[in-house]
Chain A
Amino acid sequence: MIDFKNVKKHYSNGTIALDGVDLHIDDGEFVFIVGHSGAGKTTMMKLLLREEAATSGTITVGDYELTGIKNNQIPYYRRNLGVVFQDFRLFPNKTVYENVAFAMQVVGTPRAMIKRRVPAILTTVNLADKLQCFPRELSGGEQQRVALARALANNPKMIIADEPTGNIDPKMSIEIMNLLMKINKLGKTVIVVTHEKNLVDYYKQRVVVLNDGKIVEDRIGGMFQ
């Protein structure tokens, strides 16, 4: 469960990135967050990842209240999230296997379990034959699938994807979106930040539209206006 209550985010240069946002997302929902550049999508992501703190209001994610969370608790909060970025953000010097395994090592998963689980996750994203490849040896779509596998590694309750199809071709975009839909069907909350109208319109999920830091539309089965 994600709950934004009257969340404002003002930057020191005077920019108002979010201006009184109220948003409730239930467990297991699939939500597109859309909007033009500067609408506040990235800020919303940063607040959800607790990369930044809200200026006012409260953000609750599961058992964590992000406004008052202590710095040393942030890593433990992040372990409940799986994050996918537009630019993949894989470890360039680690193999595909190591990239996925690293997320599990961070949370202290035993080595034997990592050895069993990583190939299984990579099979889910159709990369079982790329275990020992380095990211530079993969296509954009494959790299994004590795990022998705890493996001799933610790079996998080929620996946946050920031423009997951922004750097890949349309065919791969469909594949990634299908994977995200599949993950959602397994009961995980999926939040996709995007500006790709076609994808949003095609999948007909809940769409939250941001404009100038405010939610201007929130509709289930909505379209990108």
Chain B
Amino acid sequence: MKRRYSIRFFLEQAFKGLTRNSVMSVASIAVLMSCLIVLGSFSLLIMNINVNLDKIAELNEIMVYCEYDLTEEQIVEVENNIKGLDNVGTVTRITKDESLQTMKEESGEYADLYSDITAENNPLCDSFEIVYKDLDETAVFNLEAELRNITGVRKINSVYKVAKTIDSLKSGIMLVFIWFLVILFVVSIFVIINTIKLAVYSRKNEITVMRYVGATNGFITYPFIFEGVIIGGAASALAFAIQSYIYVYIEKMAATDMQMITVLTYKEIWPLLVAGFLIIGILTGVIGSVASLRKYLKS
């Protein structure tokens, strides 16, 4: 007699199988979850490194610091001279009062150290943040030379060379990280599939009996597929919860203590995390179950 079985029946069988083999089920979920967290953490690390490398490589800024004793008219003249140069895009003036204020804000709980400094005895100088248009090396070097020659300019800060070096190394750095990720992925899949194989092995007698009572391969396999989906789903959900908690913590920490580092926001990464975890978790759960069953299903 051939008969179509309901999904509900196989789900029931899967849940019973999981709960009655709880030790191996929990072990499978724990291993899968751990691997997903390791993979997720490394992926997020790579994504954030990439963003920061991109940010550094695209730094087309030069900071120009004025002499300390310039009058307001002289500072305006310096600004006009800067704006008159060819390769200059935007010029933003930062007064010495604004610099002092920023410094106090960045000092957080130590801001009191600067409480004695007022507008009258402020030792800082006015500065300009210049964003240039042409990223070509000669054009940038010419601009740097022209800026140094402007009367009233004390010093310039350019990260062009650093940015260029990082840009040229970026693809190499990313390649190394991606290879690490691939190796980690392969190792994780290996570990996950072997754990599930162990879980299936512990039930090989059960599978043998199923065959003797006339169960078709499909009838034996479907509950294991559902078990794989449940194990994968549960591990993904747990991994997502833990990963999210850790990431939000790091994001907050970076926002206060490591402001020079750009960290992708949780809003940007959570859909990727959910999709990645679910796909890897469920696929490995199902593939592990089916692959492990194959040798017990040979007639």
Residue of A nearest to B209 (CB): A89
Pair B212/A78 contact, Cβ less than 8 Å = yes
Choice from B9, B20, B208, B214 contacting A89 with Cβ under 8 Å: B208
Given contacts A50-B299, A71-B299, A75-B215, contact A108 B210 (CB under 8 A): no
Which residues 124-161 of A sit at the B interface, judged by CB distance below 8 A?
Answer: 150, 154
B9 A105 Cβ-Cβ under 8 A? yes
Q: Are B299 and A76 in contact (CB under 8 A)?
A: no
A39 close to chain B: CB less than 8 A: no
- Asked if B3 CB lies within 8 Å of chain A CBs, one says yes
User: B21 on the interface (CB 8 Å rule)?
Assistant: yes
Interface size class of B (residues with CB under 8 A): 20 to 34
CA distance in complex: A71, B215 (Å): 12
Structural contact, A74 and B299, CB atoms closer than 8 A: yes
List chain A residues, Cβ under 8 A from B217: 75
Closest to B9 in A: A105
Distance of A113 from chain B, by nearest CB (Å): 12
Which residue of chain B has its CB nearest to the CB of A91? B206
Tell whether, in the assembled complex, residue A108 and residue B3 are in contact, meaning their CB atoms are under 8 Å apart. Answer: yes
A79 within 8 A of partner (CB): yes
Q: Which residues in chain A, 147-180, are within 8 Å of chain B measured between CB atoms?
A: 150, 154
A95 to chain B, nearest CB (A): 10
Interface residue? A106 (CB, 8 A): yes
CB contact between A75 and one of B3, B17, B209, B214 (< 8 Å): that residue: B214
Chain B residue contacts of A49, Cβ below 8 A: 212
Partner of B212 from A89, A107, A154 at Cβ < 8 Å? A89
Q: How far is the CB of A45 from chain B (nearest CB, A)?
A: 11
The majority secondary structure among interface residues of chain B is helix
Query: Is A107 touching B209 in the complex (CB atoms < 8 A)?
Result: no
B5 within 8 A of A: yes
A186-212 Cβ-contact flags toward B at 8 Å (1 or 0)? 000000000000000000000000000
Interface: A122 (CB within 8 A): no
A44 interface residue per 8 A CB criterion: no
Output the residue of B1, B2, B5, B17 with the most chain A CB within 10 A: B1
Is B213 among interface residues, defined by CB-CB distance under 8 A? yes
Q: Which of B1, B16, B211 contacts A78 (CB 8 A)?
A: B211
B299/A108 in contact, CB under 8 A? no
Which residues of A39-82 are within 8 A (CB) of B?
49-50, 71-72, 74-79, 81
- Cβ A90 vs Cβ B209 within 8 A: yes
How far is B17's CA from A102's CA once the two chains are assembled, in angstroms?
Answer: 13
- Give the CA-CA distance A105 to B6 in the complex, in Å: 11
B1 to chain A, nearest CB (A): 5
- Sample (26) of A-B pairs whose CB atoms are under 8 Å apart: A49-B212, A74-B299, A75-B216, A75-B219, A76-B214, A78-B211, A83-B213, A89-B208, A89-B212, A91-B209, A92-B205, A92-B206, A93-B21, A93-B206, A94-B20, A102-B210, A102-B213, A103-B213, A106-B210, A106-B214, A106-B215, A107-B1, A108-B2, A108-B5, A150-B213, A154-B214
What 11 new A-B contacts, CB under 8 Å, besides A50-B299, A83-B212?
A75-B215, A78-B213, A81-B214, A92-B205, A93-B17, A93-B206, A94-B16, A103-B213, A106-B210, A106-B213, A154-B214
